[in-house]
């Protein structure tokens, strides 16, 4: 029986204007604007099994969290 693939684990540093992600498995950083269109583009690039850890900062994390939750 095949072992299930380990999900990607991504941490996101949150600020009013910018989000910065870091993927543990790949060691890659990615910066993008904290806007719904940019968040949507970034989420579309993430595999379905991705676990996202977000720094809760004021209200600036809410779009990312809500959109990621909707994606599943």
Residue-wise pLDDT for 47-66, tens only, equals: 888 999 998 889 999 999 99
Task: Report the pLDDT value the prediction gives residue 48, as an integer from 0 to 100.
Answer: 85
Task: Report the pLDDT value the prediction gives residue 72, as an integer from 0 to 100.
Answer: 81
Task: Report the pLDDT value the prediction gives residue 70, as an integer from 0 to 100.
Answer: 93
C-alpha pair distances (Å), 35 with each of 3, 38, 66: 37, 5, 13
pLDDT digits (tens, 9 = 90+) for 2-49: 555 778 899 999 999 999 999 988 999 999 999 999 999 999 999 888
Beta strands 9-14 and 18-23, pairing class: antiparallel
Task: Report the pLDDT value the prediction gives residue 7, as an integer from 0 to 100.
Answer: 82
Task: Report the pLDDT value the prediction gives residue 3, as an integer from 0 to 100.
Answer: 55
């Amino acid at each position: 029986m095949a072992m299930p693939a380990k999900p990607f684990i991504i941490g996101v540093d949150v600020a009013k204007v910018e989000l910065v992600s870091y993927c543990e498995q790949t060691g890659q950083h990615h910066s993008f604007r904290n806007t719904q269109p940019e968040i949507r583009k970034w989420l579309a690039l993430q595999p379905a099994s991705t676990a996202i850890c977000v720094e809760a900062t004021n209200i600036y994390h809410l779009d990312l969290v809500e959109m990621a939750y909707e994606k599943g």
